[in-house]
Amino acid sequence: MNKTITLFLLILSLQNYAQCWQAISSGPDHTIALRTDGTLWAWGNNSAAQLGDNTLVSKNQPVQIGTANNWQKISAGDDFSLAIKTDGTLWAWGSNLRGRLGNTVSGRQRTPVQIGTATDWRSISASSGTTGGHGLALKADGTLWAWGSNNYGQLGDNTIVDKNQAVQIGTDTDWQTIDAGGNHSVAIKANGTLWAWGWNGTLQLGDGTNADRHVPTQIGTATNWQSVDGSYTHTLGIKTDGTLWAWGSGAELGLGATIGSTNVPLQVGTANDWAKAICGINHSLALKTNGTLWSWGENAGGELGLGNTTEIRIPTQVSTNADKTLISAGKDFSQIMNSDGFLYAAGLNADGQLGDGTNANKNTLTAVTCTALSNEEFQAASTIKVFPNPSRDVVKFTSGEEITKVTLYNLLGQEMASKYVNDSEGMLDLSQVNRGSYILRLESEHSIKTVKIAKE
């Protein structure tokens, strides 16, 4: 009997479907995500096995990683990924260059492998650097741990020696928030103070110098830092008063045309209602407390989602919809989730990192469907022949068994067209639907198979 393909979008109510995604994290050119059922999914570049699906084949739509449903925290880095399960164990996969997986495995690790035996990991962060890659993690007792590339002192252990196993950084037990930037690290302690260490070549530490730091170094004297995020050339932070601050170099600072770099935190604009800010490699995303999305920085791939490829040097509102809850940024692309768990993406898509089933760049937010398939489902669906795809007016299909009915759905689960077939081949008229992406559902006596198609 053929394997039945379960399609969330079609067998659940739209209310249940809307709760699909709960967390997202983007590396330079791949994304990992968690569904609300605790399963792990990934898409994008997979040349270093950073997706974790036991292949080296890139994917342009979400595929499930393994069968476990107890994943809790995720972080995508440069050619590697990190995750924590609900039992407190820490896992890594992808390239192990310079020890970034935190173990002695050589080469690539194609599926998640546990780091050590500890069961008290609380949070993680994978770097998106260009010369190595390192990981940071906090344990439940507030201690800070690091591993991987350390050529700039980004681990914080007062050396420039790489580590292939997690080492504790100092003895403090009051670390609260961490982020592995490019080749630097930033963190906030429980008392609201800000700390940074590692490479400072583009002033991204914010300590008033351009000197590298090999141990955590306090930045300024403020005690009201709420969140911080770093990338290759810049760092963003939000204070408890809702103000946004930036330091480092580039248009991604959001400080306007006259300020190209700063070695101390400077306030971005005058607004005091910022809720979250994320650094891409060369662009930035932020959310306000009202749920609006803002972007700025380089925009060659359309990653700002503004409908163009023009560089922007100040925060610019992406849309009028005030329903955004999560943001994630890679190299030249962005991922956004709204309050209903719908996922959208914009930017460069050469490796399928947007997850929309294509490899075409998008300069506006494009839906990432929750009808993505598990590994077995993905393989089963690939046996269906659908052509031409994309299509202008009529899509044809063939199957190894008799198809009883074919139905076309948009990415919100709304039925657009349907037809009874009772044959192993047939066609469906698309002339009455708008250009865009759709899900073609083919039903037989024993199975339901789905294929993503595009109308030109």
- Give the pLDDT confidence of 150-176 residue by residue, as tens digits: 999 999 999 999 999 999 999 999 999
Strand ranges for 280-391 from DSSP E: 283-288, 293-297, 312-317, 324-329, 333-338, 343-347, 362-368, 385-387
Tokens of 212: 């590298």
- pLDDT of 374 reads 45
For residue 453, give the nearest of 442, 441, 438, 443 by alpha carbon: 438
Confidence of residue 214 (pLDDT cuts 50, 70, 90): very high
Based on its alpha-carbon atoms, the radius of gyration of the chain, rounded to whole angstroms, reads 23
Q: What are φ and ψ of residue 300, in 5° steps?
A: -60, -30
Tokens of 235: 């760092």
Q: How much is the pTM? A: 0.80
With pLDDT > 90 as the criterion, what percentage of the chain qualifies? 70
Task: Tell me: pLDDT of 436 over 90.
Answer: no
Mean pLDDT of the chain: 89
Q: Classify residue 6 by its DSSP letter.
A: P
Which CATH number does the domain 376-455 belong to among 2.60.40.1760, 2.60.40.1930, 1.10.10.60, 3.90.1150.10? 2.60.40.1930
Domains 21-369 and 376-455 share a fold: no
- pLDDT of 57 reads 96
CB 44 within 8 A of CB 30: yes
Tokens of 27: 């590396």
**Where is pLDDT greater, at 370 or 270?**
270
Tokens of 30: 């791949």
For residue 114, give the nearest of 140, 83, 141 by alpha carbon: 83
- Ranges of each domain in the chain: 21-369, 376-455
- Predicted confidence (pLDDT) per residue in 5-49, tens digit: 233 333 333 333 345 788 999 999 999 999 988 999 999 999 999
**Whole-angstrom Cα distance, residue 398 to residue 425?**
4
Contacts of 199 (CB under 8 A, 6+ apart): 152, 153, 154, 182, 183, 184, 212
**What is the SS3 assignment for 207?**
coil
- pLDDT of 398 reads 86
Which CATH number does the domain 21-369 belong to among 2.130.10.30, 3.40.605.10, 2.60.40.2300, 2.40.40.20? 2.130.10.30
Q: What are φ and ψ of residue 10, in 5° steps?
A: -100, -25
What single letter denotes the amino acid at residue 106? S
**Whole-angstrom Cα distance, residue 109 to residue 101?**
8
